[in-house]
Structure 1
Amino acid sequence: MIESMLARTEYIDDVSRSPLSLYDPPHLSSLIYCSLCYSGQVGLGRTSHMVCSHRWLLDYNKHRCRHNRHWEQDRKPPSLARFSYLHMKYLFFSWLAVFVGSWVVYVEYSSYSELCRGHECKNSICDKYRKGVIDGSACSSLCEKDTLYLGKCLSAKPNNQVYSGGWGDLEGVIKCQMEEIPHYNLGAEMEHRKEASPFNKPTKGTSVEKFKEMVLSHLKTKVGEQANLPDLVSLVFSVADYNKDGLISLPESRSMWALLQLNEFLLAIVLQDREHTPRLLGFCGDLFVIEKVPNAPLYGISLPWVVELWIPAGVRRSMDQWFTPSWPRKAKISIGLLELVEDVFHGTYGSFLMCDVSADGFGYNDRHDLKVMDTRHIVPEATFQKAMRERRCDMEEDCLYGADCRTSCDLTKHRCTPEVTQPNLAKACGALKDYLLNGAPSDIQEELEKQLYSCIALKGSAEQMEMEHSLILNNLKTLLWKKISHTKDS
């Protein structure tokens, strides 16, 4: 009996093209009702089978409609489901963005608080100045008059504090050492070692003549044996005597001795009469102030590190060349770099090596004269050679200082050789190649490219090929000057 009803149900469902499940709740209740009808256990048992079947169909349809209505109410429409999914996705990515952003802010703040400790530097310097330990041309302005102030933090290392700032009407860059004095030891990439106090020499009771001997011995170690070293000592004493009274006090001498340990300050004194080195404005202890370079770096733009990660190296180099002056002005700036190479190669007080010739280390003023911004990696050749002789090596990569000063490794002795494999001029030409060739006039493009590649190919120390070195340098300068000499940019 039930099987016949199921057959009829399936037939009806086939007609409606909506097959039913035997496990659908309204279907089951209707089947039970019909079976009771046929068995006579309900009041309709005396009716015909057709009446019962008809009643069953009506009852079934009523239950199915009611059930479907509740089912549709319980089930979410597809658009609502999609909205919930998108909503959850939005919440997840919002949370992720907040988390990553908070982490970046924390890292940047931690880095900033570690790198930028100018207030600590100022407090330390001024405390020693008030106690009479140190003195200098910038001490009164920094600690008493407050006319020398620290502005934007530019530090790249915690122990070398760098700030832009102002001194009256002058704009400058303030550099201060924190906790450690960088002693020139190339054996471990400008190793730093702590001293009990950077201002403990000369000691009380040291005569001026004794202090001169100390300075002479120190400079001989730095720049090597030079015939005119006494002149360099006199230059150092003229800078130390900031009030020009002809006397060097103990606080002044302590400040100068601490500053002479810094290669950057030594180079500022050696090249202070050259136009491509920022002027030394003043000092106090181991803090010193130099002239600010208004346009820096030499070319390119500074981008956030997050953006840098997604830019290919080739695209980055092309972008750097977009943000440069006109070609005649680039030529004048390039001539300045070539003149700087001349200044540091067999200069008045010895030879220096340029160990990081990158755009970040140079800038230019409003007249487009090149200025050195970072002289920490322009090192005395004598000191470099002495340190390299003592450096142990197992491969060529062990004999590298900075980015550009490389020597070879003597594998029989496992020691680095003292002579650099590439002179300053070759490194300068490598930095200028793309800078000069991009936008160069067509009538000198080929000759300029030829001379630049000849320059880059220079090998060995400049002493070994002094004639070729001078010839290439003069040819490049002449080619550039001839092209821009008739323009206002010259």
Structure 2
Amino acid sequence: MKQLDYIHLRASVHLIKILKRKSTLVLIGGFFLIVFFRRKLVCTNVEPLLHINSVCTSFWNGVAAGNLCNELCQPEIVPSLACHNYYEKSTVFSVQWNHTNIVFKSAKKSSQTEIQNWPYTGGNFYQSENYYTNLIKTAVKLKFNISITNVEAIKLLYLYFGFKWPHKSREIENVRTLIEDNEYLALILYQRFDVFPKLVGTCGTLYAVQKLNTVSGFWHLMTLYDSHVEWIKRIKIAIKIIEFLARLESGLPEALLICNVKMNHFGMTDDFKKVMYLDLDSVHPVSIAGQITGDGSECKSHSDCDFMNCRSFCNLITLKCQHGVVNNNLQIVCERIFLGWVMSGKVMVPGLLMGPHTPHVLIELLEECANPAGEIGTPRAPATKEVGKRLHDLLVHITY
């Protein structure tokens, strides 16, 4: 009997250990699941569906407007949705729309408004159409240092031309939220330059853009094992990225800086002929980026004055951020995309152009591009056009 009790006791102890182990695994799994959702590492299609339902409810109640609302909010149509992770936006999802894939994004509500004195309450207008268009012109000047005409400002004011002034109360607040979203405004202002995806339309504070093929952010998982064919493919993508950076510096009202550079922020057109940039929340003209980094705020080190990947200097005498951006797009891309994650002078995670097929001459050129002044620590100098041309020419030569 005692032996049987001992066996039962051991079995109970063993069962308790198993349950504890499983409980621990469940808790750990639950913790990581919460982290993944909060950091947008994973997503579900329930979230975009709920967001569409919310926007459409606002549309049916006369609060939201836009050229896409009528089709998006038809009760008998259930859109084919796919959520997207790794985005800074609160809501990003793609939809099959008239046999074309488009991406919906939710406009960010700005903590610091560029549109002051926006007089609107409860559907009542206190000023004329001209007053609002002047506010929009001011906002565009402040955000992108571009002067637009009255006609261009009116186009921004009207999301849907089925309503005329003053019967526009259902869309006026939508307009304000959209105009204050850096990406939405950039899509409109630079549409004719063909550097960003095409804006399809809006519904409420949602806006839709053409869907491009995202350049993968996980090249480092395959670069050590990729074939020669894959290596050439990556070189061709790098060439297109360099050509894209050149388009950002010429032919625009002012050169643009991309201050939040990530691999999956680059998108490729279906014909594989052109790269565009997908996340425009941190895209600014050089003059505006310089105002951000040189805003006079207090600093103790140079990094205190940086705006994401756009770097600057701290005035170590006044201890104020008083300088514009000192690096450029090419330096950022060489450092973060082409070369990879560098620590203590060594590449820890290989970038797009690093792998077993990378010739030594290319490595040297990438290092010069990523750290033009050969600085110890964080590079704070622009890559020269001459280095950019040498890099482009070398990559083209390798593909032959």
Shorter-chain TM-score: what band? 0.7 to 0.9
For 1:143 and 1:114, locate their aligned partners in 2 and report how far apart those are by CA, in whole Å.
29
Moved more, 269-278 or 410-419: 269-278
Aligned to 1:419: 324
Residue 450 of structure 1 corresponds to: 364
CA distance, structure 2, for counterparts of residue 235 and residue 336 of structure 1: 31
Q: From 348, 364, 373, give the equivalent of 2:278.
A: 373
Q: What is the TM-score normalised by the length of structure 1? A: 0.62
1:234-281 deviation digits (Å, cap 9, x = unpaired) = 556556656678978735554333212111112222333455522212
Paired residues of 1:165 and 1:174 also in contact (CA < 8 A) = yes
Match 1:399 to one of 291, 305, 313: 305
- For 1:92-171, what aligned pairs fall within 5 Å after superposition? 92-102=17-27, 104-105=29-30, 108=33, 112=37, 117-119=47-49, 121-144=51-74, 149=79, 151-154=81-84, 160-171=90-101
Answer yes or no: is 1:436 the counterpart of 2:357.
no
Identity of aligned residues (%): 18
How many angstroms apart in 2 are the aligned matches of 1:424 and 1:124? 38
> In the alignment, what sits opposite 2:386?
471
| Pairing 1:356–2:260 present | yes
Contact 1:183 1:261 in 2 (8 A): no
Over residues 200-219 of structure 1, what are the superposed CA-to-partner deviations in whole Å (9 max), with x where a residue is unaligned? Answer: 69962644433332222111
Which structure has the bigger radius of gyration? 1
Q: Distance in 2 between matches of 1:260 and 1:286?
A: 10
Alignment of structure 1 residues 138-287 onto 2, 5 Å: 138-144=68-74, 149=79, 151-154=81-84, 160-177=90-107, 181-183=109-111, 204=125, 206-224=127-145, 226=146, 229-230=147-148, 237-238=154-155, 250=168, 251=170, 254-287=173-206
Say which SS state the counterpart of residue 207 (structure 2) adopts.
strand
Paired with 2:89 and 2:362, the residues of 1 have a C-alpha distance of 42
Q: CA RMSD in A?
A: 4.3
Question: What is the deviation of 1:170?
Answer: 1.8
Distance 1:237 1:440, change over 3 A: farther
Q: What SS does structure 2 have at the residue aligned with 1:258?
A: helix
Query: Following the alignment from structure 1 to structure 2, what is the Cα–Cα distance between the partners of residues 450 and 84?
Result: 67
Distance 2:361 2:36 in 1: 47
Question: Match of 2:43?
Answer: none
Instruction: Say which structure, 1 or 2, has more relative contact order (CA 8 Å, 6+ apart).
Output: 2
Q: Partners in 1 of 2:80 and 2:110 — Cα distance?
A: 22
Task: Select the structure that is richer in helix.
Answer: 1
Q: Following the alignment from structure 1 to structure 2, what is the Cα–Cα distance between the partners of residues 319 and 264? A: 32
Matched position secondary structure for 2:92? strand
CA distance in structure 1 between the aligned counterparts of 2:119 and 2:398, rounded to whole angstroms:
51
Residues 1:105 and 1:244: Cα distance change in structure 2 (over 3 Å): same
Unmatched tracts of structure 2, length 5 or more: 41-45, 340-350, 375-379
Shift of 1:162: 1.7
Distance, in Å, in 2 between the alignment partners of 1:477 and 1:382 is: 27
Q: Does the Cα contact within 8 Å between 2:299 and 2:321 map onto a contact in 1?
A: yes
Q: Residue 129 of structure 1: SS of its match in structure 2?
A: helix
Q: Is the 8 A contact 1:361 1:373 kept in 2?
A: yes
**Equivalent residues, number:** 371
Distance in structure 1 (CA, Å) of the matches to 2:120 and 2:103: 23
- What is the one-letter code of the residue matched to 2:317? T
Aligned 8 A contact 1:137 1:242 in 2 = yes
State the SS of the aligned residue for 2:334: helix
The Cα of 1:110 is off from its aligned counterpart by 9.0
Q: CA–CA distance in 1 between the matches of 2:30 and 2:237?
A: 38
User: Given the two structures, how large is their TM-score scaled by the length of structure 2?
Assistant: 0.74
1:17-166 alignment to 2 at 5 Å? Answer: 88-89=13-14, 91-102=16-27, 104-105=29-30, 108=33, 112=37, 117-119=47-49, 121-144=51-74, 149=79, 151-154=81-84, 160-166=90-96
